[in-house]
Amino acid sequence: MPATLEQKQAPAKNPNSPNRKFPLERTRNIGIAAHIDAGKTTLTERVLFYTGMIHKIGEVHEGTTVTDWMEQERERGITITSAATTCAWTQRQEAGVYKIFEGIKQRINIIDTPGHVDFTAEVERSLRVLDGAIAVFDAVAGVQPQSETVWRQATKYNVPCIAFINKMDRVGADFKMSIDSMRQKLGANAWPVLLPLGKEDQFKGQIDVINKKAVVYSDSDQLGSTYELADVPKEYVDLVEKAYADLVEQISNLDDEVAEAVLDEKPVPPELLKAGIRRQTIANKFVPVVAGSALKNKGVQYLVDAVVDYLPSPLDIPPAKGMEPDTHEPMEAPTDDNAPFCSLAFKLWSDPFVGKLVFFRVYSGTLSKGDTVYNPRTNKRERISRLIQIQADKREDIETCYSGDIAAIVGIKNITTGDTLCDEDHPILLEPPSFPDPVISMAIEPKTKLDQEKMATALQRLAEEDPTFRVYTHEDTGQTIIAGMGELHLEIIRDRMFREFKVDANAGKPQIAYRETITSNAHGVGKLIKQSGGRGQYGHVEVDVRPGDRGKGLVVENKIVGGIIPREYIPAVKKGIQEAVLNGVLGGYPVVDVEVDIVYGSFHEVDSSELAFKLAAIFAMKDGFKQGKPILLEPIMKVENITPEEFQGDICGDLSRRRGSINSIETRGNLAIIHAEVPLAELFGYATAIRSLSKGRSSYSMEPSHFQPVPPNLVPAILDQKEDK
């Protein structure tokens, strides 16, 4: 059994501090995540309005939303950075309708995440600290490529989800197709708890499957605040009965208590069925599905009820897992205000009003102004001078935050995304979120000498905030290179440099992040022998290199026997191997997916040193790469193109010209959905190209898929291009 964080201090039976406004069981930490343009920010805005946090609904297309507050977000109508906000909700008491937490005030902490693939790190770090999520799907498009990415991220962190099929008012909305695509593409055990009442321009509200009631929104109330409960219309009775029977059957297959009632042939009361759905949703075995239209203000209140009813409180999820920083023994941080303090810093942000903010999620204990926190990664402690909570578009100073809370510290130093902040007497290291490597880079230089210093500061601050944004200096040219997840990502970085840091910079053409690997087994020999009077340098290393499994990175094994390389020099050899893979022998690109065995070498009693063995290892690796038939790898993107059927041939032809391979074509109504894999190098300017090919009627989305070998005939041109730079 892993040790718990409160080894010296047993927790009280009640995990709640008497000072907190909302007990843990009445707290929900949720994220809203989906493909770009599915309606996440619009939905967040409605939730804030119906919970009374804001008094006027903002719109994405008008640039007036609370969570999209950056100028770039409002101009483009997209979310770039995840925004945290807090609201309170009480389920309304309504005749004949059973709700689990009816009439009890709940706190809901919401993080609205970006949908664009370039900002996938924002989703990754948000899901790492959330207890539940609303996955939003477009009722016309169903599951889209970025929906799959978000779902995989939620699965990785075991985050229970509710599905919200949005845009039921759109022409072509298809609720059944959307659920079917969730089951097929995501493998989700998804079943409706709130069916749509009508669709397209006839969409009027929802049908509550469990209580068998219709929720009808008033046409005279544009804000969607008024709705009435009615009997299910006759034409929907059979549909509701079938949906109810399916729901009971699915839950009884998973949940013992519901199964017992079904086997005893007793009726399943709403409270029993809802409790079963809650248990199975929290166990990640079931996904409740809700229909609605956030833009038309229909169906949001019952979605918030479903969040409260089915998604977990901090007490419903397992304790946060970590390890003791020195011994690496597994530890747990229980959700308990009385336990020692433990939290994870998941986001850094330069706020225009209050300065540097560190967003953190408290897993156990409490933190008050004036307390000192300890960072086990840096072994540094820091005093907390100011704590704030984001309440819609306001920043509210707070005295104390409790376990399960999401808040921000102002002005803390020496911290990076993923750091643990804890009690110094009870240190614990939590697992940080993981982030993908950048796929695109470009050179950047300041326009004037005056901008030089400001640019360095700006890039450092932006790199601190964004774990998928990298800055480095090119070894050969001395240029400053910035790398990120896509063209839009780097464009936003440049825009932020100009607006927030007043740095004007020129940028080169975006460059592809190529990789190198080897295709055959090889033996590499590296020797460093220098004798120039006095003490010399001697190192001799031999390695066997072979191709590794795709995606496995670098694997190093020490096969030295008999001390032919003394044990104290082996770490230096390994360090040399790790440095060698940063620059390959073809074009100086990083080398991936190789397995290395350290097999032979020799040493000199006097002249050998760690540096000599490190350099010898680098020479041995370079020699092995040359013998191992090296090849160049390029990033491949998964592309989904949605186009009217009349343009299908032109779009497919264009993808083929771009070295794309078309995997499948679906037909939905008069639209063709083309799934293809295309090299990133061929996708620059793609948005403009498909606009002209389809008279502006096609749309596309893409996300990184994998690396694959560059065709041999293209390699010389890529390497020449690299040399020219």
> In the chain, what are the domains?
24-316 (3.40.50.300), 318-430 (2.40.30.10), 440-513 (3.30.70.870), 516-628 (3.30.230.10), 634-710 (3.30.70.240)
Taking all residues of the chain, what is their mean pLDDT, rounded to a whole number?
A: 85
Whether 65 shows a pLDDT value over 90: the answer reads no
From the CB of residue 112, how many other CB atoms can be counted at a distance below 10 Å?
27
The dihedral formed by the CA atoms of 703, 706, 707 and 712, expressed in degrees to the nearest 10: -80
Lowest mean pLDDT among 293-302, 347-356, 541-550, 620-629: 347-356
In this prediction, residue 71 carries a pLDDT of 52
Q: Which tokens go with 594?
A: 């190789």
CB count within 10 Å of CB 516 equals: 23
Residue pair 217/50 in contact (Cβ under 8 Å)? The answer is: no
For the chain, how long is the longest CA-to-CA vector? 101
Q: What is the C-alpha separation between 423 and 366, in angstroms, rounded? A: 10
- Span 69-79, mean pLDDT? 46
Strand partners, 445: 506
In the numeric block, which tokens belong to residue 522? 């090889």
CA distance 293 to 138: 10
In this structure, what is the dihedral angle of CA atoms 122, 123, 129, 133, given to the nearest 10 degrees? 150
Q: What band does 9 get if pLDDT is binned at 50, 70 and 90?
A: very low
Asked whether residue 711 carries a pLDDT value surpassing 70, the answer given is yes
In this model, does residue 413 exceed pLDDT 70?
yes
| pLDDT score for 117 | 55
Residue 634 predicted with pLDDT over 80: yes
Closest C-alpha among 654, 16, 690 to residue 335: 16
Separation between Cα atoms, residue 581 and residue 448, nearest integer Å: 36
d(CA 413, CA 82) in angstroms, rounded, equals 22
pLDDT at 625: 95
Give the model's pLDDT for residue 244: 95
pLDDT value, residue 11: 42
DSSP assignment of 276-315: HHHHHHHTTS-EEEEE-BTTTTBSHHHHHHHHHHHSPPGG
- pLDDT category at 307 given cuts 50, 70, 90 is very high
CA angle in degrees (0–180, nearest 5) for 35-510-717:
120
* Residue 361 in this model has a pLDDT that exceeds 50: yes
Residue 632, pLDDT > 90, answer: yes
Q: What's the pLDDT band for 38 if we cut at 50, 70, 90?
A: confident
Between residues 477 and 134, the one the model is more confident about: 134
Confidence bin at 79 (pLDDT 50/70/90): very low
pLDDT value at residue 265? 84
Asked whether the predicted pLDDT for residue 577 surpasses 90, the reply is: yes
Mean pLDDT of the 483-500 span? 80
- pLDDT of 694 reads 83
Which has the minimum average pLDDT: 107-121, 156-170, 435-449? Answer: 107-121
pLDDT tens-digit readout, 583-613: 899 988 899 999 999 999 999 888 889 999 9
Q: Which residue type does 717 have?
A: A
Confidence check: pLDDT of 251 > 90: yes
Rounded Cα gap, residues 96 and 98, in angstroms: 7
- Looking at residue 723, its pLDDT comes to 60
pLDDT of residue 10 exceeding 60, the answer is no
- Which tens digits make up the pLDDT trace of 213-230? 999 988 776 777 788 889
